[in-house]
Amino acid sequence: MLLVEWHLPRLAAAQAPVQEARSKVEAAFLRNFARYVSWPPQAFEGDRSPWTVCVLGEDPFGDALPEVLRGRVEQGRPFEIRRADALESLPACHILFVSIANAAQRRSVLRRVKDMPVLTVGNASEFLAEGGVIRLQPGERMEMSVNLDQARSASLGIPTKLLEVSRDVVENGVLRRLR
């Protein structure tokens, strides 16, 4: 038992840099979505209104998201980050990272933003089936899958470049495995 207790803190310390690197990669994906995905003009208050990146639920990013977005501008817009445990506590979001473990709560949030110009992103295995737009899948390398039907419902344009590097794409209700 003592041997296990002695190794656990070392194991946790060894995993911390891996989690931090993963968080930075996920944050970079969120930043790049602002570059490649297109939103309808009415999604923004003005021509230079910021991108609002929201994290709903338990924040998996820590300092990685502000670090990756600090000083960045995409399409002439700076970034703002908002975090909350409830959707009602957030302003209008352009990119919404849904980090809610409870599937029923996650589905409820996704239903409420379904037809809004909000790019929903998450890691849950059922995220696309639940109505999310992009699922990030960490592993040896970060992969993503896209629910093109939901993107269209939200009036978001997903370019071919993103679809070509996606693992799976849902289109017309059919899941196609690309990689």
Q: What does pTM read for this prediction?
A: 0.89
Does the structure show a pLDDT above 70 at 9? no
CATH topology of domain 2-173: Rossmann fold (3.40.50)
Does the structure show a pLDDT above 90 at 13? no
List the one residue out of 138, 141, 135, 140 whose CA is nearest residue 162: 135
Cα angle 97, 136, 169 (rounded to 5 degrees) comes to: 110
- At 36 the pLDDT is 96
Contact 163, 151 (CB under 8 A): no
- At 16 the pLDDT is 57
Cα atoms found within 13 Å of the Cα of residue 81, Cβ hemisphere only: 19
- At 7 the pLDDT is 43
Query: What is the per-residue pLDDT across 21-53, written as a single tens digit (0 to 9) for each?
Result: 888 999 999 999 999 999 999 999 999 999 999
